[in-house]
Chains A and B, each alone.
Chain A
Amino acid sequence: MIGRVLLTFALFALLLSGCQQPRMSVLEPQGEAGQMQLDLVYLSIYIMVFVCVIVLAIFTYVLIRFRQKPGDNTIPKQVEGSTKLEILWTVVPIILLAILAVPTLKSTFTLAAKPPKAEQPVEVKVTAHQYWWEFEYPELGIKTAQELHIPTGKKVHLELTSVDVVHSFWVPSLAGKTDLIPGRKNTMWMKADKPGTYEGRCAELCGASHALMNFHVVAEKPEEFQKWVKQRQKPSSQPQTAQEKEGKKVFAQNCMGCHAIDGAGLKGPGNKGPNLAGFGDRDKIAGLLENNPENLNKWLHNPQNVKPGAHMPAIDFLKKKDLDALEAYLESLK
């Protein structure tokens, strides 16, 4: 019975996995930290499968062999126990656990160790907000949001905190979670071996849009990363066309209270929302929607519709002309 169900399962899995691959799998790590964690996952799975097989073998044998036969009313022998057997199933698990415990302790300490200065790790300060991520590179003088750019082959040392509630930083294919807690600074490190875009999630319930607090990590070859750093250090934030100039004005009147744009020369912008420098280069709006004018319109018009409980007010009071100008300016930020 159970076998049949499992078979159906497997077939079903084959059918559907053909068209969709999980894109943030713990089982396909792309860097050292994730690999170390996966090694432990597998080690524990092997040990546990071993245990399960033994238990299930005895279980199945017992169920078949000792079920009541029709007409059999004998009273079975009342056994008190067996010291030998009981010692056996106390000692064997202890040994199995020791096999698991030793590498566990080793990796626990390795993962907690700060990467030495000699390795020149990239330092990033991660600050979580309801429901977006702020990434600051203190050594490089860069502040950005939602998209974490890192070079491949190098450890990235993260310092994590939160301004409101507890969040948790998780990029399944690179490394496990670390919580971001208001009033505390936690640290972790991760490393990407290959260039690519890796999905990240918030893993601690943080409010209405917890499910949508997505971000991604863009790992690039060191040269590419340097290029990105140069661009971010000197962002092109000045409007070029007349419409973009108009857009910047609209921005200064309506958005500056919360958003800054590095290099735009705005006077006294707020920092409640993400810094929008380089917005036009980002893949996603609010970490969620494909970055195109249509979606930008959708987001500006009613952010709560996209992310319930988002703190950004709806920008639905602008004239169409002003809104178009604003969008043009934002998309021009590189």
Chain B
Amino acid sequence: MGTIVSILVLVLFLTAILTGGYNKKFLQRVQGSNMWDWLTTVDHKKIGIMYLGAGGFFFLIGGLEALLIRVQLFYPNNDFIVGDTFNQLLTMHGTTMIFFVAMPLLIGFMNVAVPLQIGARDVAFPFLNALSFWLFLGGGIMLNLGWLFGGAADAGWTSYVPIASNQFSPGPGVDYYVLGLQISGIGTLIGGINFLVTIINMRAPGMTFLRLPLFTWTTFVTSALILFAFPPLTVGLLLIMFDRIFGSHFFDAAMGGNSLIWQHLFWIFGHPEVYIVILPAFGIISEVISTFSKKRLFGYNSMVFATILIGFLGFMVWAHHMFTVGMGPVANAIFAVATMSIAVPTGIKIFNWLFTMWGGRLQFTTAMKFAVGFIPTFVMGGVTGVMLASPPADYQYHDSYFVVAHFHYVLIGGTVFGVLAGVYYWWPRMFGHKLNERLGNVHFWLFFIGFHLTFLIQHWLGLYGMPRRVFTYQAADGLTWINQVSTVGAVMMGVATLVFLYNVVYSRKSATAASAERDPWDGRTLEWAIPCPTPEYNFAQLPKVRGLDAWWMEKMAGNKELEPAEPLQPIHMPSSSYRPILMSLGFFVSGLGFIFRTIEVGVLGLVMVFLLMFTRSFEQDHGYHIEVDQIKEAEKGA
């Protein structure tokens, strides 16, 4: 704690010196700066970009952790990173990748695309949207602080008790996990509510539910999953926190507690979480495949139905993660059948994608390559999922490298491929220029081959008896060469990521004013109908929507613009606010207080949050208006 305080003081001190002290002029300069604009923004487009940036940053950290894991496993009885340090690595890799990479990247795209796709000017609660982002970032930073102060979490991303209890993990690592996830979880929950209300209440005239682009549909279902799946995690984390910090006995068998309660709560959250991070990727894939096949999505209605069904079934199957805990054959059988049934709606999706391409005119842009690469990869992950659903077979697969291979096929082959397709697809909408396609091609092939090299053979590692989360194996186990191939593949994925980073820099440098096209892919949905770069109010006049793929329909009818549904009038905009970042800071301080067992600081942080909420309630802020002549000016410039 002392270290943190002194660092904070030092930073403040340096800021004061470098800026020549605090004065009015300085304040004005700060408020006029770009930085201040981003820190206080409530614009969904900027928040989306910040989500993507932060998620990308955590992706690099999580990827580095993965590489270290693979290096340690390169040969048997390696002593590079062993024991508890290795456990910290694998825990942080998993937690980071799920909560601070997969989720923010997808939520980033929701922010970037959903309001545009439904013809809205912002989300329903712009202030809360900013709060969601800052809470997510605060939680992510808090989790990673463990590396610097006192050791990171070491009980696995599932943080099973009793291994996560004080007795067996005495350092602050698990506290970082608990409070970091709790803080970012509040943000995610708020975000879920925000998108539900946005999609229900803020669709443009004529944008009925069955005309929503599929990405918006998946966002809708995902948000509903967030709404009902995060509270169990909240409760679980709260109980662990009580056990660790306040001496309660929820999970302590010696005091009458039951450690299985955590497993249930965690997986009641955890399984829907799997769909939270895959459904939006399905949505992206649907958009990309449809756009680059130049065809309407095949079986749109059944796609929507399948999405809803997957979301619903996602809540009925959590215990298949617990087949080996001794629930008895009846429970195992029920959850097995429920789990298998999810394969049906997922299969519907796969075939619909294939038949969207059937008869189309396929353009293999990088985005399309990732989307096309997604299909066989995700099918692999899906079929191993069905295999895992069978309890007797699962007794063998469970907690072995087979499972590791399975969920990486789903999470990388599904979510990451989807996200990368989305990155290449929406990049021109976000930044006004495309990413370089040649470098994109290199990126795709290196990543695709590296991925399969890393994970395909891990199925066999599991079948040959290698448990997951082990820091080593024995030479006599006969697992060495498989591990070595896997490590080589991981390095390839690392190189691919470097190529991507280079592509970002290169494309930005070579972009000119002419690279800003409003509809570079000959798109189908509303986000491609507005000027580029997107004006802050999105739509000068809210559009009238006449069918699915609204923009495509207008283009086919020979129109150059969307038909407006309202006259040109002043547009109401929400004001920026410094409160979201301060509220997040309050939670952050509170979290640190609890982690270091100084309850006063913990309470102080919460008081700060409540005070900010209290004063916000008194604030009369009705935003501002953009006048008609300003809009005309902006639209002409674009």
Contacts and interface: CB of A to CB of B under 8 A. Distances in A.
Interface of A: 1-2, 5, 9, 12-13, 16-17, 20-27, 34, 36-38, 40-41, 44-45, 47-48, 51-52, 55-56, 58-59, 62-63, 66-68, 72, 74-82, 85-86, 89-90, 93-94, 97, 100-101, 104-105, 107-109, 111-112, 130, 164-166, 168, 170, 172-173, 175-179, 181-184, 186-187, 199, 201-212, 214, 308-309
A52 B348 contact: no
Interface residues of B, number: 99
A201 B465 contact: yes
9 contacts: A22-B479, A25-B465, A47-B386, A55-B351, A97-B344, A108-B336, A182-B259, A203-B400, A210-B471
Contacts of A41: 387, 393, 396, 463
Interface string B53-87: 00000000000000000000000000000111011
A304 to B, nearest CB: 9
A5 B396 CA distance: 29
B341 A77 contact: no
A104 B326 contact: no
B294 A181 contact: no
Contact of A210 (B343, B445, B453, B470): B470
Contact of A89 (B296, B348, B379, B476): B348
Contacts of A100: 340, 386, 390
B478 A76 contact: no
Given A37-B392, A41-B396, A59 B386 contact: no
A178 B294 CA distance: 52
Contact of A56 (B341, B376, B384, B464): B376
Ordered nearest first, which 4 A-B pairs have the shortest CB separation? A176-B395, A183-B253, A308-B83, A24-B465
Contacts of B87: 205, 207-208, 210
Given A203-B398, A207-B163, A79 B390 contact: no
B449 interface: yes
B481 interface: yes
Residue with the highest number of chain B CB atoms closer than 10 Å, among A21, A56, A68, A72 = A68
B302 interface: yes
Given A130-B168, A176-B393, 15 more contacts: A22-B477, A38-B396, A44-B390, A51-B347, A62-B362, A75-B294, A75-B556, A81-B298, A81-B302, A93-B347, A100-B340, A111-B329, A164-B168, A201-B467, A204-B399
A76 B361 contact: yes
Contact of B83 (A82, A164, A187, A209): A209
Given A182-B259, A205-B87, A214-B474, A62 B358 contact: yes
Interface in B465-515: 465, 467-474, 476-481, 485
Interface string B29-43: 000000000000000
Interface in B330-386: 332-333, 336-337, 340-341, 343-344, 347-348, 350-352, 354-355, 357-364, 372, 375-376, 379-380, 383-384, 386
Nearest to B394: A176
B226 interface: no
Given A79-B359, A104-B336, A177-B324, A67 B364 contact: yes
A205 B260 CA distance: 15
